[in-house]
């Protein structure tokens, strides 16, 4: 079997040829240059796909595309992703389908297909009930139920970063706002403005608006107490959300990926502690592992291919 | 088709004969007297079922039982429900199956089967992606995905009352703790202790420990400002949770039942407002109705029968 996997990212476009074991047989890559707009970029994507199809040793059975969300799963329309500015209501799925009429084309949002990738070929291999959480500039997720990507009635499910985690009088906030990379940065900047000392102040030459999640992460790894406090807080908040998700979905594994997850145990330890402390029955925690993502930069390509294979199989059954 | 539906509640045991349209053809009822313990009560339940089977005009195809949770769905074991004291690890499903060997027996927790009842024969009729929320002494739920009850990897899913909704420094709390009937009572008692005036003080003759959710509800209906504040707060918190659930499950309907939901618009208006205000995209809110439960005291019997019919159909397909 030969599948084309496409990773449309804010920075890079990557297109690969994979077999049924998700082995990457060939791969090409170009910068996205999203400022050029979809009218320029889409033909480039299609040409990359065409090149990979031509170079394949066997007929290509399907094309899978990973795109920044939100995506309308029924029409394959990219709605208006924050990191692809100017891409408003682009029916990329249909456009690709028209260019390659003999090859079924499927499109999914990046966090959703990453969940599939981890289940089919990564840290959640063998699990049929899995939740993938990506913690970086935002917090996104993908939910796998009975081995299949769960997208809800209209394809918008799995957006676990937007769950309300904090209600304090008039202040209502979400997991993404509080615990993402920018959330780490905001927390540290606020505490420094309140008078806290931190290595971070020096790292950004006193420009507190220049603090990023990465700055905080580096300071935490250097042992800075305030940065460690911020990372612990993020880990705890993600852990509370994991506890909530355990009660809602009762999965057997949580896979946590994204840039912030590279902080490793600094993040995972408070995460696991908070999850364990907030389940009503130990079974919820004991039945679900909490592990780091296993797939690196190829996660979206593998996930796009996994989506295509899953949809091909579903079509075959019907 | 003839199905026996059993509602094992903390107060009453109700057993009914239903047809495939969930019409109740016959019904018997006894007090539970849970203090007598399962050794006395279970034979009474079995006799009620036997009586209904004997009285049926057609052979009974299946027995469905609604029980207070948690329940192990694989073994049909009632684990240790708070309102059936002394019922620890009771394999009611297996016991009933052994007594009625020719008739498949299925058991589910009361909130879960109530969700099925509302989907098959109540306010969510025709919906395949629905979430049922019951707000009374606790907050429970049932999640229907693709027309089927979703129970997760090990049957423990759908416990939406235990999701973390409030994190304020060291204070971490759940939807159930904050927004249930007892949550209403605690909030009002605390505010009165802080000096707030309320009709509730008079209603309980100054004994603030005697305040219940019902007291607060009655005071709210009488226009008491503090009680109204408490009900609005509960409605808002449930609304935030509904917003979270919209992002996670993207259903087409929420059905809200349970004693506290009888407060009607006093609860539903702040609930809808909070949900609408906290979705990242209007589609989440627009795609999902938020409605009161339609079924009254027969909800558990109908749900137990719906569970039995669903399981019969699933077994027929395999």
DSSP chain A: --EEEEEE-SSEEEEEEE-TT--EEEEEEEE--GGG-HHHHHHHHHHHHHHHHHH-SS---EEEEEESS-EETTTTEE---TTSTT--SB-HHHHHHHHSTTS-EEEEEHHHHHHHHHHHHSTTTT-SSEEEEEESSSEEEEEEETTEE---SSS----GGGSEEEEETTEEEEHHHHHSHHHHHHHHHHHHHTT---HHHHHTTT-GGG--HHHHHHHHHTT-HHHHHHHHHHHHHHHHHHHHHHHHH--SEEEEESGGGGGTHHHHHHHHHHHHHT-SSHHHHHT-EEEE----TTHHHHHHHHHHHHHHHHHHH-
User: What residue in A sits closest to B251 (Cα-Cα)?
Assistant: A153
- Say which of A151, A152, A165 has its CB closest to residue B164: A165
- Which of B308, B251, B317 is closest to B18 using CA atoms? B308
Is there a contact between A155 and B250 if contact means CB atoms under 8 Å apart?
A: yes
Nearest-CA distance B104 → chain A (Å): 24
Test mutation, B248, B275, B279, chain A, max A CBs within 10 A: B248
**The pLDDT of residue A62:** 97
Residue by residue, pLDDT tens for chain A (318 residues) are 999 999 998 889 999 999 999 999 999 999 988 788 889 999 999 999 999 999 999 999 999 999 987 787 677 787 777 777 788 888 888 899 999 999 999 999 999 999 999 999 999 999 999 999 999 988 999 999 999 999 999 888 999 999 998 877 678 999 999 999 999 999 999 999 999 999 999 999 999 999 999 999 999 999 999 999 999 999 999 999 999 999 999 999 999 999 999 999 999 999 999 999 999 889 899 999 999 999 988 999 999 999 999 999 988 876
- Which of A71, A73, A78 is closest to A42 using CA atoms? A78
B-chain CB neighbours of A154 within 8 Å are: 250, 252, 283, 287
Q: Rounded to the nearest 5°, which phi and psi values hold at B122?
A: -135, -140
Is there a contact between B145 and A145 if contact means CB atoms under 8 Å apart?
A: yes
- Say which of A129, A165, A279 has its CB closest to residue B167: A165
**The pLDDT of residue B73:** 67
Is there a contact between B158 and A248 if contact means CB atoms under 8 Å apart?
A: yes
Query: Is pLDDT of B85 > 80?
Result: no
| Number of CB pairs, chain A paired with chain B, less than 8 A apart | 127
Domain residue ranges of chain B, discontinuous segments joined by +: 3-109+296-317, 133-292
B-chain CB neighbours of A152 within 8 Å are: 129, 249-251
Nearest-CA distance A60 → chain B (Å): 31
Q: For residues B230, B235, B236 and B237, what is the CA-based torsion angle, rounded to 10 degrees?
A: 90
Mean pLDDT estimate for chain B: 93
Residues with Cβ within 8 Å of B193's Cβ and at least 6 positions away in sequence, in order, are: B208
Q: Which residues of B235-248 are buried (b: 16+ CB within 10 A; e: fewer)?
A: bbbbbbbbbbbbbb
Is there a contact between A153 and B128 if contact means CB atoms under 8 Å apart?
A: yes
SS3 (DSSP) at B246: helix
Is there a contact between B163 and A250 if contact means CB atoms under 8 Å apart?
A: no
Test mutation, B72, B126, B128, B156, chain A, max A CBs within 10 A: B156
- Which of B13, B16, B78 is closest to B45 using CA atoms? B13
Residue identified by tokens 């299949």 is A148
CATH number for the segment(s) B3-109+296-317: 3.30.420.40
Test mutation, B129, B152, B232, B254, chain A, max A CBs within 10 A: B152
Nearest-CA distance B28 → chain A (Å): 34
Interface of B with A (CB under 8 A): 70, 128-129, 143, 145, 150-160, 162-168, 172, 174, 237, 240-241, 243-245, 247-252, 278-281, 283-284, 287
**What pTM value is reported for the model?**
0.92
Query: Is pLDDT of B318 > 70?
Result: no
Q: What does the alpha-carbon distance between residue B294 and residue B69 come to, in Å, rounded to a whole number?
A: 22
Query: Same CATH fold, B133-292 and B3-109+296-317?
Result: yes
**The pLDDT of residue A318:** 60
Local structure of residue B90 (DSSP, 8 states): B
Q: What fold is seen in the domain A133-292? A: Nucleotidyltransferase; domain 5 (3.30.420)
By percentage, how much of chain B surpasses pLDDT 70?
99
User: What residue in B sits closest to A285 (Cα-Cα)?
Assistant: B156
- Say which of A153, A167, A174 has its CB closest to residue B250: A153
Report residue B79's pLDDT band, with 50, 70 and 90 as the boundaries.
confident
Label the pairing between strands B253-257 and B171-174.
unpaired
* B90 in Cβ contact with B71 (< 8 Å): no
Is there a contact between A172 and B240 if contact means CB atoms under 8 Å apart?
A: yes
Q: What does the alpha-carbon distance between residue A127 and residue A255 come to, in Å, rounded to a whole number?
A: 11
Q: Which CATH architecture has domain A3-122+296-317?
A: 2-Layer Sandwich (3.30)
Query: Is pLDDT of B75 > 80?
Result: no
Q: What does the alpha-carbon distance between residue A132 and residue A112 come to, in Å, rounded to a whole number?
A: 8
Which region holds residue A89: left if phi is over 0, alpha if psi is between -120 and 50, else beta?
A: left
**The pLDDT of residue B315:** 85
- Which of A299, A302, A258, A254 is closest to A279 using CA atoms? A254
Instruction: Tell how far CA A175 is from the center of its chain.
Output: 15
Q: What does the alpha-carbon distance between residue A270 and residue B139 come to, in Å, rounded to a whole number?
A: 27
Query: Is pLDDT of B78 > 70?
Result: yes
B-chain CB neighbours of A241 within 8 Å are: 164
- How many other C-beta atoms lie within 10 A of the C-beta of residue A229? 17
B-chain CB neighbours of A166 within 8 Å are: 166-168
B-chain CB neighbours of A278 within 8 Å are: 164, 172, 174
Question: Which pair of structure tokens corresponds to residue B133?
Answer: 């929320």
* B168 in Cβ contact with A166 (< 8 Å): yes
Q: What does the alpha-carbon distance between residue A221 and residue B230 come to, in Å, rounded to a whole number?
A: 45
Is there a contact between B159 and A128 if contact means CB atoms under 8 Å apart?
A: no
């Amino acid at each position: 079997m030969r599948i084309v996997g496409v990773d449309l990212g804010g920075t890079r476009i990557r297109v690969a040829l994979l077999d049924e074991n998700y082995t990457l047989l060939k791969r090409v890559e170009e910068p996205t240059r999203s400022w050029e707009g979809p009218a320029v970029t889409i033909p480039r994507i299609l040409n990359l796909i065409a090149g990979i199809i031509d170079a394949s040793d066997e007929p290509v059975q399907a094309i899978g595309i990973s795109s920044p969300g939100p995506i309308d799963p029924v029409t394959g329309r990219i709605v208006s992703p924050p990191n692809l500015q100017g891409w408003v209501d682009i029916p990329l799925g249909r456009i690709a389908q028209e260019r390659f009429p003999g090859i079924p084309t499927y499109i999914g949002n990046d966090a959703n297909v990453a969940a599939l990738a981890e289940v089919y070929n990564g840290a959640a291999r063998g699990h049929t009930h899995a939740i993938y959480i990506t913690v970086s500039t935002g917090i996104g997720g993908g939910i796998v139920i009975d081995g299949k990507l769960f997208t809800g009635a209209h394809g918008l499910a799995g957006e676990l970063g937007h769950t309300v985690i904090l209600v304090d009088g008039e202040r209502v906030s979400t997991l993404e706002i509080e615990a993402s990379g920018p959330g780490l940065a905001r927390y540290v900047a606020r505490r420094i403005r309140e008078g806290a000392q931190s290595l971070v102040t020096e790292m950004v030459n006193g420009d507190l608006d220049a603090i990023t999640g990465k700055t905080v992460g580096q300071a935490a790894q250097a042992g800075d107490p305030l940065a460690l406090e911020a990372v612990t807080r993020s880990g705890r908040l993600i852990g509370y959300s994991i506890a909530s998700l355990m009660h809602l979905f009762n999965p057997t594994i949580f896979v946590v990926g994204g840039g912030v997850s590279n902080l490793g145990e600094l993040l995972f330890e408070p995460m696991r502690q908070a999850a364990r402390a907030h389940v009503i029955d130990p079974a919820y925690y004991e039945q679900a592992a909490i592990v780091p993502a296993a797939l690196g930069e190829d996660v979206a390509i593998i996930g796009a291919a996994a989506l295509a294979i899953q949809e091909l199989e579903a079509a075959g059954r019907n």
